[in-house]
Amino acid sequence: MNGSERGKARPQVSATMVLLMLFTLTPALLAGEELEPSRNLADLENFVVQDCGSCHGLTLKGGLGPSLRPENLNHLPEEAIAAIIREGVPGTAMPPWKPLLAPADIEWISHQLKTGKLVSP
């Protein structure tokens, strides 16, 4: 830690900010439109297996991160899953993926995880 980093507090996320992140919908979702992923589907599926799977297990049953199987996500709406992917989870190993994924890609992944379309038995 250098001198300029000392004394800087990590920004805290308030409950209000978390609620805003979880329930902010894109205009396309409000209009009931499906967003088209910016990458091809094979690339996105590979991203989930390789990048998400590196922490959540290659079968998404959990590892360093929790299980991403539908039965473990049933308490979360798709919008909440998208917010977690987009913004990450402060204080955990879950990074924000918004610098690397387009909003449509995040929405597509959220839907696939929620419905179980990316998990194998």
- Tens of pLDDT, residue by residue over 47-62, are 899 999 999 999 999 9
Q: In the chain, what are the domains?
A: 38-115 (1.10.760.10)
Establish how many alpha carbons lie within 13 A of residue 49's alpha carbon, considering only the half-sphere containing its beta carbon. Answer: 11
**d(C-alpha 115, C-alpha 119), whole Å:** 9
Q: What is the pTM of this model?
A: 0.68
**d(C-alpha 120, C-alpha 50), whole Å:** 14
How many C-beta atoms lie closer than 10 Å to residue 93's C-beta? 9
**d(C-alpha 39, C-alpha 56), whole Å:** 22
Q: Tell me: the pLDDT tens digits for 19-30? A: 444 444 444 444
